[in-house]
Chains A and B, each alone.
Chain A
C-alpha cells in the first residue's frame, strides 16, 4: 500500500465518454483522470449510473453504440489507445488488458465447452495446436484453483457453480498474462463465502503475477479489502481518489462521507441510517379492519412447525416404468427446506440468513403462503395460513410479501394506482369510490408523490419501485410482511432509504417482519432475532447481537468471517 514511483502502466486523462440520446448527450464519463502503476490495485467505487463500468469499457475499447469517447487520452505504457485502428486494439485486448464481468452466467458461452472457450481465447493471440491449447487450458484452470482440471476442461458452463464459472472467466482473463485486468463487479453475483474465496485468490494471483487491477464495485467493504487506492465516482466524475485506507477512514468529499454513512454496518442497529432519513413522510392511513383479536406485542404470532419442502422432478412414462422395475434410479429430489420450526413473535423482525440454495427463500414463501409445504404446518395467530386438501391455497390476507426484484414484481402494463388498489379491492378492504384516495395515502406513507398513482412502473427508478412494492404490500393491511431480499438489487443510498422506511413503518404499524437476506450487515441492523439457514435447516437461531458477537455453529462463524469489513473510521 505504498505509493509507487515507477512509470505508470496506465494513464487516463480527462476521459469523456458520452452517449447521444433523444434528450441530448448523456455524459456517462465526464472528465475522468487517474493513473495506475504496474501491479497496483485501484478500486473504482460508485453507485449505478456513476460511470464506473463505462470507464472500464472505455479503457478496453468496448463502448457500446452509440457511445463514443469524445475527449481525453488513455495511455498504456505511454502508447495512446484512443484512435487506434480496431485490429490494433484487438491485439491489446486479452493480451495486455483483459476484463472480467459481473455475471459469470452471462459471460461464458453456454453451448461451448470450457476447453473450447479457452482455446478460442488462446488462438486470438497466438498460433497454437489443439493439443497445446488443451494443455494450456488445463494449466489455466489449475491456476485458478479448479480441482481435477483434466476432467473439468471438457465441462460446459452449466456444469459449474457460479463461483467456479467466475474462476473460469478469471482463468481466461489471465491466459496471456496481461499487465492489467479490469474487473467489473466480479463478485457481486456470488455468495459471501465464495466472494471471500475469490477475493483471497485474486489477491494472491495479482501478487504472484504482478498484474495491475482495476476493481469496479459498488461495495466499499469489498474494495477496501483488496485495493491499494480507491477512486469514488459520481455522475461521471471522480470525486475523490487516494490511498484506500485514507479514503475509507478519513473521507474528504461529502459524497464519500454520505456513501459511508449509508452503510448499515457503520450505524447502531435499529437506528435510522443517516442518508435518506431527512424526509418526514406522511403517516400511514388508519387501519380499517380491527375485528381481529390481535395478541399483545411479543407473544408468538406466526408459527412454522416442522415445515418441509421437497421439489421432485417429474419422471416420464419410460423412466417411471424403469424405476418401478428397478432398472433406473429415481430422479434426485431437492430437499429445499428440511423440517424447520420457527416462531415469529408479534412486532418482531426476524432475519433469515443463508447462502443461495440454503432454502431461505422457500421457507419465506411457505411462511407467506405462496408455496405449499410438502409437510408441516404454518399458523398465524393459531389459525392455519393455508387451506387443507389437495388444492391448498393461502386463506389469509394478513401476510404479505415484498420481493427482491422490483422490476420483475410489478406488472409493467398496469398503472401504479391499479397495482396498489388491486388487492384491497379484491378483498373489499376499500370501496371502488375510495380506492384512489386510499392509494394516494399509501403512496405518501412510503415517501412517494401521491400524484404518481397514474404512472407506469417503467417511469420509476429501482428504489422508487421497491417503495411501490412496499405500498402494495401494506395496502393489504397485513400484520406480517415477508421481505425476500428487498434491498439486494439496490444501491447503498437507496438501500439506506428503504431500510429506514421499513424501520419507521414497523414501529408505526406494529408490523412483524421476516427479513430474508444474504447481507449480514443489513440483517444485523434491522433484525431483533436471526436464524441462520444452511442446506434447508436452521443451524443457529437467537438474538441478533448475541449471534453476531458469539456465533456458536461452525457455519455461522464461517459466514461471519467471510464478510468483508470496512476499516473503522478514525475518530
Chain B
C-alpha cells in the first residue's frame, strides 16, 4: 500500500511540474500585462522601470524559474487588479465554491444513486421510466436556462427562495459557511440544485446500468438462493459492486465542478472562484490566472489520488500485489 501511495505521489509531482510549465507558457503568451498596469501616457522610463520591477525583461526560462522559486515559498504574487496577495484572494473565494460544489455533488450522489438503483432494479415499472425521462431531461437542459427557470419560479414568482448571493454566513475555523444558518442554507439550495442537475442525471444512469446488469448476475442469484432479502441484496451486494465506477465519476465530477462552476456562480451571483477567474481573464490579471490553474491541477490530482485509494478500499483484489 505504501509503495502504491509513494508511486502516486511521485506521478502527482511530475504532473504538477508539467502543469506549471504549461500554465506559465500559456499565460505568458496572452496579452501584455504592462498595458493594463500603467497608464498609456506614462514615460518610457517609468515603463522600463515597471517592466524591470516585474522581471518581464528577463528571458522566459529565467522568469519561469523565478516563478517556480516563488511558488515553492508559497508566494503566488500579487493580483494586478486587487493589489492583494493572490493566495489570500483565492482563499477568500475557495470556501464558497467548495461549499456549493460539495452540496451539489453530494446531493447528486445521495439522491441519484438510490433512485438509479431502483430504476435498475425494476427497469420496466412506470416509476423507473419516469426517472429515466427526468435523467434525459437533466442531460439535455442547458445549465444556464435551468438556473434562470429556478430563479424565475422560486425567487420571482413564488418568492420563497432568495435569487442570489451567499446570505448569512457563520465563521468556523476562520472560514465562512453558509449552510449552517437558515438564511445561508436557503441561499445555497437553488444554486446547488442547478449545479447538481447534470451530475444527478449521470449518477442515475450509472447506478441504473450497473444495477440492471448485476441483478442478472450469478452473485445476486446466489445471494437470493441463500434467502437474503431484496434490500440486503441491493444494499450489501449490488451497491458495493457498482460503487467503483460511481466513485470514479464522483471524483471526476467533483473536480470539474470545483473548477468550472462558472455559469452557476454567475447566474446566482455566488462569490466563488468561477467569478474570480472570469474577471481576472478579462482584466489580464496574470498571477490570479496562474495560481487558479495551478490550484485546479492540484485539486484534480488530490481528488484522483483519493479516488485511487478508495478503489483499493472498495475492491480487495486491487489491494493484493500492492501491499
Q: A interface vs B, CB < 8 Å?
A: 60, 62, 64-65, 90-95, 98-99, 101-103, 106-113, 120-121, 123-125, 156, 158-159, 169, 172-173, 175-176, 313, 316-319, 322
Contacts and interface: CB of A to CB of B under 8 A. Distances in A.
Contact of A101 (B222, B227, B236, B237): B222
6 contacts: A90-B224, A108-B222, A110-B317, A111-B316, A159-B320, A313-B321
The dominant DSSP class at the B interface is helix
Given A94-B225, A317-B10, A107 B316 contact: no
B7 A121 contact: no
B10 A93 contact: no
B241 A109 contact: yes
Contacts of A156: 316-317
B318 to A, nearest CB: 10
Contacts of B6: 318
Contacts of A103: 218
Interface in B225-275: 225-229, 232, 236-237, 240-241
A151 to B, nearest CB: 15
B316 A94 contact: no
Given A98-B225, A110-B316, A322-B3, 10 more contacts: A62-B221, A62-B224, A91-B227, A98-B226, A99-B222, A111-B314, A120-B236, A158-B320, A172-B226, A316-B3
B217 interface: yes
B141 interface: no
Nearest to B221: A62
A124 B232 contact: yes
A172 B228 CA distance: 12
B315 A120 contact: no
Nearest to A119: B236
Interface of B: 3, 6-7, 10, 124, 216-219, 221-229, 232, 236-237, 240-241, 314-317, 320-321
A450 to B, nearest CB: 38
Given A94-B228, A318-B6, A158 B222 contact: no
A112 B236 contact: yes
Contacts of B124: 65
A94 B224 CA distance: 8
A90 B227 contact: yes
Given A158-B317, A318-B6, A124 B226 contact: yes
A123 B1 CA distance: 33
B218 A124 contact: no
A147 B10 CA distance: 41
Contact of A318 (B10, B229, B237, B317): B10
A112 B240 contact: yes
Contacts of A99: 222, 225
Contacts of B314: 111
Which of A107, A169, A175 is the most central at the interface, judged by chain B CB atoms within 10 Å of its CB?
A: A107
A125 B315 CA distance: 28
Contact of B227 (A107, A110, A125): A125
A107 B216 contact: no
A91 B226 CA distance: 9
A106 B218 contact: yes
Nearest to B320: A158
A318 B227 contact: no
A98 B224 CA distance: 10
A182 to B, nearest CB: 8
A498 to B, nearest CB: 28
A177 B137 CA distance: 51
A313 B320 CA distance: 13
Nearest to A319: B3
A108 B220 CA distance: 9
Top 9 closest A-B pairs, CB basis?
Answer: A94-B227, A99-B225, A106-B218, A94-B226, A107-B222, A156-B316, A121-B226, A124-B227, A93-B227
A90 B229 contact: yes
A553 B10 CA distance: 53
B225 A120 contact: no
A317 B6 CA distance: 10
B228 to A, nearest CB: 5
Given A62-B224, A93-B225, A111 B7 contact: no
Given A109-B241, A120-B236, A60 B225 contact: yes
A159 B237 CA distance: 19
Contacts of A318: 3, 6-7, 10
A494 B212 CA distance: 34
A103 B217 CA distance: 11
A445 to B, nearest CB: 39
Contacts of A60: 225
B217 A120 contact: no
B237 A109 contact: yes
Given A64-B216, A319-B3, A111 B225 contact: no
B7 A120 contact: no
A103 B225 CA distance: 15
Nearest to B238: A109
A110 B225 CA distance: 17
Nearest to B244: A111
